[in-house]
Amino acid sequence: MSEEKLDVIVVGSGVAGCSAALLLARAGLRVALIERGPYPGSKNLSGGVLYGRVLHQIIPNFWEQAPVERFITNQVVTFLTEDSSISLDYKTEAFSQPPYNAFSVLRAKFDRWLGDQAEAAGALLVPGIKVDRLILDGKKVIGIAAGEEEMFAEVVIAADGANSFLAQQAGLRPRLPEEHVAVGIKEVIALPQDVIENRFRLNGNEGCAFNIVGSATQGIAGGGFLYTNRDSISVGLVIQLADLIERQIKVTEVFDHFLQHPFIDSLIKGGKMMEYGAHLVPEGGLRMMPRLFMDGMLVIGDAAGLTINNGFWVRGMDLAIGSAIAAAEAVIRAHESRDFSEQSLAFYHQKLSESFVMADLQTYARAPHFMQNPRLFTVYPQVLRDIFLGIYEQNARPNQHLMTIGRRAVQQNDLSLLDLLKDLWNGARAL
Amino acid sequence: MEIQRQIFIFSEDITLVRELIGAAQVLAEGKPAILSALVIGGSTSVEQMQNTGVDRIYRLDTLPPDCLVEDIFQTLWGLTREIKPDYLVIGATTAGRLICGRLAARLNTTALTDIQTIEFDAQGLLIRHMVFGGGAQRLERPLRQPVVMTIGKGQFESQAARSEKVAEVIPVAFTPPETRAILRERRELPPVSVNLAEAKRVVCPGRGIARREDLTMVEELARSLGAEIACTRPLSEGLGWLPRERYIGISGAYIKADLYVGLGVSGQVQHTIGITDARVVVAINRDAEAPIFKQADYGIVADLYEVMPALIDALRSA
Amino acid sequence: MNIVVCLKITPDPEDLEIGPDGSVSTTHAEWKTGSFDLPALEAGVRLAEMHGGKVIALSAGTSQINQSKVRKDILSRGAEELVLVVDDSLKDASTAETALVLEKAIRKLTDVQLVLFGEGSADLYFQQTGVQVGERLGWVTLNAVQDVRLLENEALEVQRIVEHELQVLDVPLPAVLCVTSDICEPRLASMREILRASKKTVFEWSLSDIGIEGLTPSVEIVKVMAPPRASRKGEMLSGSVEEMVSALVNNLRKDGVL
Ligand SMILES: Cc1cc2nc3c(=O)[nH]c(=O)nc-3n(C[C@H](O)[C@H](O)[C@H](O)COP(=O)(O)OP(=O)(O)OC[C@H]3O[C@@H](n4cnc5c(N)ncnc54)[C@H](O)[C@@H]3O)c2cc1C
Ligand SMILES: Cc1cc2nc3c(=O)[nH]c(=O)nc-3n(C[C@H](O)[C@H](O)[C@H](O)COP(=O)(O)OP(=O)(O)OC[C@H]3O[C@@H](n4cnc5c(N)ncnc54)[C@H](O)[C@@H]3O)c2cc1C
Ligand SMILES: Nc1ncnc2c1ncn2[C@@H]1O[C@H](COP(=O)(O)O)[C@@H](O)[C@H]1O
């Protein structure tokens, strides 16, 4: 096996693993990128919005060659109650110019492309292999094993996603506690390109992203999203696992209910379901971050808990790439000094702290806690509905003042003024 | 006078030859054509073919004992050069496929395999056959002459003795092949115990069956249903749990049963093509998304290990 | 001795999309090596492992066959070299054209004693290409081969099942064998083999590299359509297992099939 001696083994070819392998291969290191699926992205839940600035740093103008679906020009926040919807629509020309702000992507295509880039740079992609465990020498990680086979390298990068079995085995983090985990459930629904463009009033490659709260989740902590792809729509929910378990509701039931809501139904009707999947989302933000490095090993992307779930959306791809950049820098430096000790690899943490990744995690540090407030998913959408109903409904009675409508809506829904103020304050700080 | 079409037929299987004659009639388009056939066998074989519309029967008494059916190629090739057929119609058996391929290659022409229908349009012959293991059908036009084709059992109507025409019988001698494999041993396999095509009811386990031993439960269910046991291809060819005569599908048997019960069968088209003519299809699979449910009359989403005993009980108590 | 194994790389039949009008499309299909060709590769690799020699995988098709995933898949299963004959006129090639191309490619390779084919390609499954290539090469050719062993005297011992007969034959080399898909179980590639695969040689040849100046199609594809499907009730039974079973028995009785 000595002929195969590698510098780096990257486990998992999601955006994190592919980006890290790409950068390391570019720097001339011998990198194996191991993926359990038949190709990068094959096991990844399709669809998502990629905030592209960070990828642009490592692959300039990537959107010219990458399989991106649409660039997101409209961001919409929608509040749902059982029978109504209220949307705030933000559209700006700024988002329709290169380098663009965000893109909708289908992971099976996108990750695969990113994997191709890593391969083209010289990384050795090893698909169809599930890594079972780390090989340790004392406290130092020296390789990985899959079945009977072992493979050794100077450093192992765990990019194996939210469940990161490797980080757990290394003792860097415990199993995901239920209260800190959400379930993401998603469908990709095919619709002809022109139908999508008409239905969402999009020009050319413009796209929109909806974040949805309220009866989307039947009062369970969480939110929904809907993104337009070129000729399909990604639609899904992110819901807290603990809440689901406590209320003994199946995630599929909540999801079906969501899809049948008249607002959602009007957007997806006539489409054909192409893909369906569910996935864990580490919810915790900063508080959930494991230790990110040890002798001979680094943890990046979802494996490191680098996701932000603010209740409307999940963001993790750009953070995954950001962490891959920091990790690659640390490994390249360690390679030069031939020092893969914990102290040397700590440079990763330093780089990460200086980057937007930690900054954004700080910004949203309170979001997980804020999101556990049930009023957000039950009472507020109802209050909003009552306010709008009051404004627009012409029931042959004198119209009320907005303030009066608002006060009545709050009272009708048993919301105490104190709670309202508290939530407003917390929300402003968290989001 | 219009030039008569020459159609040349071969199969080592006499019942199939009669169907090939049926196909040849379609190829003749109702116009005068000369139908010739090469037949291996004695006078009974020839008799079976008399009055079926064949003009010439080339008769080869018997193959030398150490020869394979395929070794007839050289003899067939000689006749082909003599007859100069427009169409060579070969039975789609293992030997037939080999012979078809060799003929097509030597003639540098088109081979059309496993033909299901033959039709003509203004530009000439069109044939239909399956591609993608039964996932699609393709209509094709041969662009070279002559056309070599294979046809399997059950595609064209067998020609019974009804024509007035008495065929001229021409004895032929065996031409030995130039180089060939040497037959060291041949063994009849145990006779086929089952004719799925005739079965009234069929129970069909698929990969959902976890262990070979579990087939005993399937047998019990089959007994209580009065059904034959079939299977999907992986159970036969991959795992070798059941003989190959028992698998249903494009490369296996086609059934016409009243009842088909699929146990842990996913329902890939290569398999389900074989149950198109079953009257009632029951699917038992624990995956609600399994494609078989789209092609079933009754579907049960459950573990087959729970359903089988319950079904055996229900049938017994009834 | 070199052993050539011919493999067809096609859109995965499981990814076939049937349109509402019965049209058939493979545009979204994943391209991969035919599942009935992999046992041929395994058989070739086992022979080479036991008796020495090198396995060269050979495939012809459009530029879509030259994908890193496919190359790696083939090379990690034990082939030492991969030859791809790539030309976009091979789209929808029928067996006659494919056989011509494979024959010429095999002639360009040196010291080939044995060529193995799969049982049938994943898209056509005409079971023709191999026997046509054998005839074009003028070598002894057999199909339905179930087992193959190399004998001392540079000959093969081959087992076939033909209809209801089992045959054991001595086959002189060079030879062309079309093997059945149960000749052996294809291996799962190991990490080591996958890594080694990226160092192996892949040749991409054009038609002119093998002395073909252009292909004339022997078949025109007039139409591709979904096969007619039996219309079914599609009734999903619900309830407990007992309830479903008793509903089933009642229904079957009503339908008069019990
Ligand atoms: C419903 C939902 C919606 C989301 N929406 C968005 C969004 O719109 N925008 C956004 O930026 N983010 C979104 N995210 C988050 C985003 O998906 C993740 O942050 C991102 O995928 C993290 O990338 P990664 O490379 O770290 O991990 P992953 O993409 O999970 O990749 C891990 C890879 O490792 C492989 N692997 C795992 N274990 C092993 C093993 N033992 N051996 C070999 N390989 C292994 C897996 O097969 C996989 O390919 C969403 C998440 C969910 C669940
Ligand atoms: C050219 C070509 C020709 C082919 N010809 C044929 C042919 O003639 N005949 C044929 O059959 N196949 C043929 N195949 C193979 C075919 O494509 C499928 O692979 C095969 O039919 C699948 O068999 P299966 O349904 O048994 O197995 P699988 O596809 O593995 O399905 C097993 C099913 O069992 C279910 N299951 C598992 N456990 C349980 C349980 N405990 N309870 C209930 N359900 C359970 C699973 O949900 C699954 O749906 C061919 C393929 C090709 C490419
Ligand atoms: N384009 C091709 N390239 C390489 N091998 C092929 C090709 N087409 C067919 N084959 C081989 O020929 C066998 C029979 O193919 P077919 O006649 O299409 O069923 C396959 O199992 C392959 O081994």
Task: Compute, in angstroms, the gap from residue C118 CA to the centroid of ligand 3.
Answer: 7
Chain B residues close to C96, C-beta within 8 Å: 104-105, 108-111, 144
Contact yes or no for A104/A70 (Cβ under 8 A): yes
Q: Which tokens in the block code for residue C14?
A: 């499981």
Nearest CB to C94; choose among B93, B110, B130: B110
Q: Which tokens in the block code for residue A164?
A: 């990161």
Q: What is the pLDDT of residues C168-220, one digit of tens each?
A: 999 999 999 999 988 999 998 999 999 999 899 999 999 999 999 999 999 99
Chain A interface test: which of C12, C195, C200 (most A C-beta within 10 Å): C195
Report how far residue C140's alpha carbon sits from residue B178's, in angstroms, rounded to the nearest whole number. 10
Cβ neighbours around A258 below 10 Å, total: 25
User: Can you tell me whether residue A268 is helix, strand or coil?
Assistant: helix
User: Can you tell me whether residue B58 is helix, strand or coil?
Assistant: strand
Overall residue count recorded for chain A in this entry: 431
pLDDT at A47: 67
Show the DSSP H helices in chain B as ranges.
Answer: 14-28, 43-49, 73-83, 94-106, 215-225, 233, 269-272, 304-317
Q: What average pLDDT does range A51-76 have in this prediction?
A: 94
Report how far residue C80's alpha carbon sits from residue C82's, in angstroms, rounded to the nearest whole number. 7
Nearest CB to B189; choose among C164, C168, C244: C164
Pocket test for ligand 3, best of C31, C58, C91, C98 (most atoms within 8 A of CB): C98
Question: Any residues with Cβ below 6 Å from ligand 2, and which?
Answer: B 133, 206-208, 232-234, 247-252, 264-266, 268, 270-271, 285-287, 290, 303-305; C 13, 35-36, 120, 122, 125
Q: What average pLDDT does range A222-243 have in this prediction?
A: 89
Q: What is the pLDDT of residues B69-84, one digit of tens each?
A: 999 999 999 999 999 9
- Looking at the predicted structure, is the pLDDT value of residue C161 above 50? yes
Pocket test for ligand 2, best of C7, C26, C36 (most atoms within 8 A of CB): C36
User: Can you tell me whether residue A62 is helix, strand or coil?
Assistant: helix
**pLDDT > 70: percent of chain B:** 99
Contact yes or no for B163/C47 (Cβ under 8 A): no
C194–A39 CB contact, under 8 Å: no
Q: Report which bound ligand comes closest to the CA of A75.
A: 1
Question: Any residues with Cβ below 6 Å from ligand 3, and which?
Answer: C 6-8, 34, 36-37, 40, 58-61, 95, 98, 102, 117-121, 124-130
Report how far residue A113's alpha carbon sits from residue C113's, in angstroms, rounded to the nearest whole number. 40
Q: What average pLDDT does range A240-246 have in this prediction?
A: 81
Structure ipTM: 0.84
- Looking at the predicted structure, is the pLDDT value of residue A256 above 80? yes
Q: Report which bound ligand comes closest to the CA of C180.
A: 3
Report how far residue C144's alpha carbon sits from residue B101's, in angstroms, rounded to the nearest whole number. 13
What rounded mean pLDDT belongs to chain A? Answer: 86
CA dihedral A36, A39, A44, A50 (to 10 degrees): 130
- Looking at the predicted structure, is the pLDDT value of residue A427 above 80? no
Please give the C-alpha separations between residue A395 and each of A39, A86, A272, A391, A399, in angstroms, as whole numbers.
Answer: 59, 20, 40, 11, 9
Position A418 confidence tier, pLDDT thresholds 50, 70, 90 = low
User: Can you tell me whether residue A289 is helix, strand or coil?
Assistant: coil
Question: Considering only A304-318, B17-31, B269-283, which range has the smallest mean pLDDT?
Answer: A304-318
Report how far residue A167's alpha carbon sits from residue A157's, in angstroms, rounded to the nearest whole number. 10
Chain B interface test: which of C37, C95, C221 (most B C-beta within 10 Å): C95
pLDDT at B59: 95
Q: What is the pLDDT of residues A67-105, one digit of tens each?
A: 999 999 998 888 888 778 888 888 877 788 888 889 999
Q: What average pLDDT does range C47-52 have in this prediction?
A: 92
- Looking at the predicted structure, is the pLDDT value of residue B318 above 80? no
Q: What average pLDDT does range A321-345 have in this prediction?
A: 97
C167–B68 CB contact, under 8 Å: yes
What rounded mean pLDDT belongs to chain C? Answer: 94
What rounded mean pLDDT belongs to chain B? Answer: 92
Overall residue count recorded for chain C in this entry: 258
CA dihedral (C86, C91, C94, C95) positive or negative:
positive
Q: Which tokens in the block code for residue A182?
A: 């959400």
Q: What is the pLDDT of residues B219-229, one digit of tens each?
A: 999 999 999 99
Question: By C-alpha distance, which of C28, C122, C43, C27 is closest to C79?
Answer: C43
Chain C residues close to A39, C-beta within 8 Å: 69
- Looking at the predicted structure, is the pLDDT value of residue A368 above 60? no
- Looking at the predicted structure, is the pLDDT value of residue C62 above 50? yes
Q: What average pLDDT does range B158-162 have in this prediction?
A: 77
Question: By C-alpha distance, which of C167, C130, C170, C119 is closest to C149?
Answer: C170
pLDDT at B315: 93
Q: What are phi and psi of A288, to 5 degrees?
A: -95, 0
Report how far residue C66's alpha carbon sits from residue C205's, in angstroms, rounded to the nearest whole number. 11
pLDDT at B47: 85
- Looking at the predicted structure, is the pLDDT value of residue A426 above 90? no
**pLDDT > 70: percent of chain C:** 100
For residue A243, the distance in angstroms to the closest alpha carbon of chain C comes to 28
CA dihedral A291, A293, A298, A301 (to 10 degrees): 30
Nearest CB to C169; choose among B133, B184, B278: B184
For residue C200, the distance in angstroms to the closest alpha carbon of chain B comes to 30
Position A402 confidence tier, pLDDT thresholds 50, 70, 90 = low
Comparing C72 with C228, the larger pLDDT belongs to: C72
Q: What is the pLDDT of residues C162-182, one digit of tens each?
A: 888 999 999 999 999 999 988
Q: What is the pLDDT of residues B37-47, one digit of tens each?
A: 999 988 888 88
pLDDT at A2: 41
- Predicted TM-score (pTM) of the model is 0.87
Closest ligand 3 atom to residue C117 Cα is 23
For residue A126, the distance in angstroms to the closest alpha carbon of chain C comes to 6
Q: What average pLDDT does range B253-261 have in this prediction?
A: 94
- Looking at the predicted structure, is the pLDDT value of residue A1 above 50? no
Overall residue count recorded for chain B in this entry: 318
Task: Compute, in angstroms, the gap from residue B264 CA to the centroid of ligand 2.
Answer: 8
Beta strand A222-228 with A206-214: parallel, antiparallel or unpaired?
antiparallel
Position A429 confidence tier, pLDDT thresholds 50, 70, 90 = low
Comparing B161 with B217, the larger pLDDT belongs to: B217
Q: What is the pLDDT of residues B87-136, one digit of tens each?
A: 999 999 999 999 999 999 999 998 999 999 999 999 999 999 999 988 89
